A and B are shown apart, each in its own frame.
Chain A
Amino acid sequence: MMLTHPKKLTLSFEQALKRLENVIACLEKSDCPLEEALALYQEGMTLLVYCRDKLDDAEKKVTMFSKETGKFERIGDGDQA
């Protein structure tokens, strides 16, 4: 198993979470060989860190459509006049 640095993952949060759930399901299988289990464990931990980072990285983006510009314009926290 090639260890991927969490920052280098290109998955969406949803994909990463789904894969993580998969990894856990695979690990739970009693017939999973040790080598494979170790690889899964490493992958799972990478995904975990990735998901946690994604959740922490809260880049809030709220825009409102403007008839004047015909585009979505950035606004504050819902206190738009």
Chain B
Amino acid sequence: MRILAEQNNFEAVITVGQLTTYIKDLFAADTMLNKLRVSGEISNFKYHTSGHMYFTLKDASASLRCVMFKSANERLAFRPADGFRVVLGGRLSVYERDGQYQMYVESMMPDGVGSLFTAFEVLKKRLEAQGLFAQGAKVKLPRFPRCIGVVTSPTGAALKDILATLSRRFPQSEVRIVPVLVQGTEAAAQIAEAINFFNTLSDVDVLIIGRGGGSIEELWAFNEEVVAHAIFNSRIPVVSAVGHETDFTISDFVADVRAATPTAAAEQVVPDKRELLQFLNVAGKRMLMMMQAKLDNNRRYLESLANAREITRPNVRIDQYRQVLDNIDTRLGDRLAYVLQGCAARLNYLDGKLEALSPEAVLARGFAICLDAAGTVIRDADSLNDGDALNIRLHQGIVGARVIKTH
């Protein structure tokens, strides 16, 4: 502070404001006070309507005034309350108006297992309400990933397990690892960043994020909201494999698939080469069998055709037709005979009628026809003269005659 530096003697008088500013600058220049981690218990907790949180952090021997602004507490996994044991991250500074130093809290972590479980449950409920665990948002894993992204510690047993399993089951897949810290304050940010980074690459088909077993504090990074959102926003399907079978983390709930262990994750991500080879063997045998069956069927059908009566004895069919023809012939003959018979009967009838009308029949009854010399039928006696020659036609024969007397 220039004023003080220049008037560095006991007689100099400065204002309260100048002094406070001086102290504030001292605090600001101190490296440690600007990056603090402080543990203690929360008391006098006030959640102001402005969204800022005011409280006192205390232990058996001292207390510290704290403020956590809205911008910082929005990221909290849980709602703090009096009695909560926490670890705060932030910086110490002076609030000039009250002449008070206070901690400006940037992060808050539950301190101790009981607090962590509470925080976990609260965050889980909140993220669930936001829809981060929705089954509908989950994506199916690819059947044969060409490239697998792994987000884990480069030195952990988890990575060894994953690589060993992948190489045993499906060495065809490429594996890309982004090494991260999996515990500590930096872990969550690194994990989230790695997930986001993989999403900027075009050729990664599936992600495994995880770590080996550990205490709830050690697994905590996978419970943090920043990781949850990174998983939720990941375009690439994510398999979460954190700790052992019995460990559940927020990332397990958000991920598309939860695997009990890193080994299980690798098993779920790739098919088993041996099973595939077996499938191929079976497929080959099945195709061969089906082809054989089809050929056999066709052969049998061909044989059945060759054995058909039409082919072995073609006359059978011809004889059949012949018989049909004969049948038709007979029926036709019968019909014709019937029609002819009808005609004959009618002819007889007409013949009888004709006969009744014929002059022959009249002559037979004793009548005679007179004809003149010219053969003309004589109907009138006046047309004749005495002595004219006549021909009289009787039933049997013709007699010549002469007119003796006309009347």
Contacts and interface: CB of A to CB of B under 8 A. Distances in A.
Interface string B153-195: 0110001101110010001101111110000000000000000
Interface centre among A44, A62, A75 (most CB of B within 10 A): A62
Nearest to A63: B176
Nearest to A21: B283
Nearest to B151: A65
A32 B294 contact: yes
A44 B167 contact: no
Given A12-B144, A44-B283, A64 B154 contact: yes
A12 B276 CA distance: 15
A63 B177 contact: yes
Contacts, number: 95
A80 interface: yes
Interface stretch (B284-292, B303-311, B382-390): B284-292
B376 interface: no
A79 B277 CA distance: 29
B172 A41 contact: no
A81 B155 contact: yes
Interface residues of B, number: 34
A77 B166 CA distance: 11
B178 A65 contact: yes
A62 B298 contact: no
Given A20-B283, A54-B172, A78-B160, A41 B277 contact: no
A64 B179 contact: yes
A15 B109 CA distance: 49
Contact of A65 (B176, B286, B290, B291): B176
A54 B351 CA distance: 107
A63 B174 CA distance: 8
Given A37-B291, A60-B171, A77-B163, A24 B283 contact: yes
A9 interface: no
Contact of B144 (A13, A23, A72): A13
A6 B287 CA distance: 17
- Determine the main DSSP class of B at the interface with A: helix
Interface string B292-328: 0011001000000000000000000000000000000
A77 B167 contact: yes
B65 interface: no
Interface in B229-246: none
Contacts of B37: none
Contact of B280 (A48, A58, A60, A75): A48
A2 interface: no
A65 B179 contact: yes
A7 interface: no
B280 A52 contact: yes
A76 B172 CA distance: 16
A28 B290 contact: yes
Contact of B175 (A20, A21, A62): A62
A48 B172 contact: no
Interface centre among B167, B172, B298 (most CB of A within 10 A): B172
21 contacts: A13-B144, A13-B172, A14-B142, A21-B283, A24-B287, A27-B287, A27-B294, A34-B294, A51-B280, A52-B280, A61-B174, A62-B174, A63-B177, A64-B177, A65-B176, A72-B176, A77-B163, A77-B167, A78-B164, A79-B160, A80-B154
Interface of B: 142-144, 146, 154-155, 159-160, 162-164, 167, 171-172, 174-179, 197, 273, 276-277, 280, 283-284, 286-287, 290-291, 294-295, 298
Interface of A: 12-14, 17, 20-21, 23-24, 27-28, 32, 34, 37-38, 41, 44-45, 48, 51-52, 54-55, 57-65, 72, 75, 77-81
